[in-house]
Amino acid sequence: MNQRENKTAGPLTRFLADDHRRLDIQLRAAVVDAGPVDPGAYAQFRAGLLRHIGMEEKILLPAVQRLRVGEPLPIAAKLRLDHGALAALLMPTPTAAIAATIKAILADHNALEEGTGGLYEICDQLAGSEAESLLAKLRAAPEVTVMPHSGSPAVMNVLRRTLERAGY
């Protein structure tokens, strides 16, 4: 998002796009030049991305569906598949390759959310006078319980299938 867009963006767009920026910075801090992954920085990124996905899945997408009188947004299904793929990629112990895949998915995914006619703009338009209360709910979203990393065959199977289903 460029600065002109950011100035005219609604409050939900600004809040969630800022969270994207913060997560991008954390991921870049966790993996520099495809080098080894910094476990502490990655743990912060992982917890932050899981919380961000939780805000969208549990608060934002249900609110949009309610405001559209039960009709889900056409892009909601794609966004949910991406969220599943991202959450699955956060399960195994991270490698530079996993981090690069997450980065690539997030680049497209975040553009779908932040772009013109994307999820966030639609949310700001639909929310109207509800925007402030929705924003308060997003701010109050709880931290997500983060499981220890697992690279077991079962987890890697889930990861492969989830990526396939999401088209990656």
- Residue 114 is a binding residue for Fe ion (CB under 5 A): no
Distance in Å, CB of 118 to Fe ion, minimum: 10
Q: Any long-range contacts for 23-28 (C-beta under 8 Å, 24+ apart)?
A: 23/48, 23/49, 23/52, 23/106, 24/106, 27/99, 27/102, 27/103, 27/106
* 114, two tokens: 């932040």
User: How many whole angstroms separate alpha carbon 25 and alpha carbon 48?
Assistant: 11
Which x/- pattern, by CB under 5 A, does the window 58-97 give for Fe ion? ----------------------------------------
| Residue with Cβ nearer Fe ion (53 or 67) | 53
- Residue 56 is a binding residue for Fe ion (CB under 5 A): yes
Q: Which stretch in 25-33, 34-42, 49-57, 87-95 sits in contact with Fe ion by CB under 5 A?
A: 49-57
Query: Helices 131-139 and 119-127 meet at what angle, rounded to 10?
Result: 130
- Residue 113 is a binding residue for Fe ion (CB under 5 A): yes
* Site residues, Fe ion (CB under 5 A): 56, 113
